[in-house]
Amino acid sequence: MPASLSTKVTKLSAEERRRHIIESIARLGGTPVMNLAQEHGVTSQTIRRDLQELESRGLIQKGHGVALPGPGSTAIAYKDRNAHQTELKRRLMAPLAEFIQPGSTIYVGLGTTFNSIHEVLRDRSRLIVATSNLGVAYACTFNTTVTLYLFGGYVRRNDTAILAAMGGGVGNTFKFDLAILGANAIDEDGAVLAHDPLEVSFVQEVIAASRQVIFVVQADKFGGRAPHAISHLRHASVLITNCDPRTKLKDPAILNATHIVQVK
């Protein structure tokens, strides 16, 4: 049976194979080149040519030995991420209450981790919340009294993320007391990584316009891989996570100036 399946796959045309590759990346997120080659019964060189063509069309991104979803798309569908580890995400949100003062101006970043942040903001007064996260905006609109600002731009496919269009950045509009951010991955050197290059410049503007930066990171993000560097943990005022992050880094001293909140 495996042999007949392999024979069937090798008969795909180049365009059919490329459609299959896009579907695999959309379903699995970052996918190693070797896995794609085995799946389609072709050589790694053939897959690399496919990936080069797909990248030139803006449909995927090439990483080091891996293929990733293209700009403006998400590695894992929103509905799947939203249903994953919901109780842990709530626990990661709870410590934020310590850092949010009445009258604060706050930026809340992308990701389903923040979908329950309205539970923390609900009883806080005179808050201004700016976000590019439609999930956060919706929940805050109907469950809090915050003044809400929503950055405009493109809505990422299969997601609730808004990616700022040209001229849609922070500019001189805001000075945030807090920027509350997530990450797609944190490498062992402490770099904060993202899959989507369209996030990078906007988030860097937010960080530059913020008095304090809080990263909220699930333990399974440490040691992960993504091709775009947004920031570095040395710039974190606070790190909220459900592990001891020092054990995940080559140089734990990176976090010497960071307030670490470890959630059980």
Token reading at 17:
């194979």
Task: Return per-residue pLDDT of the chain as tens, 264 residues.
Answer: 444 444 444 468 888 898 888 877 766 656 788 888 888 889 999 999 998 888 877 777 776 677 766 666 555 554 554 445 789 999 999 999 999 999 999 999 999 999 999 999 998 999 999 999 999 999 999 999 999 999 987 787 667 788 765 455 676 789 999 999 999 999 999 999 988 777 888 999 999 999 999 999 999 999 988 888 999 999 999 999 999 999 999 999 999 999 999 998
Per-residue pLDDT at 218: 95
Per-residue pLDDT at 182: 96
Q: 196-228: per-residue pLDDT in tens?
A: 777 888 999 999 999 999 999 999 999 988 888
Q: 103-145: per-residue pLDDT in tens?
A: 999 999 999 999 999 999 998 999 999 999 999 999 999 999 9
**Closest among 24, 79, 75 to 226, alpha carbons compared:** 75
Per-residue pLDDT at 79: 53
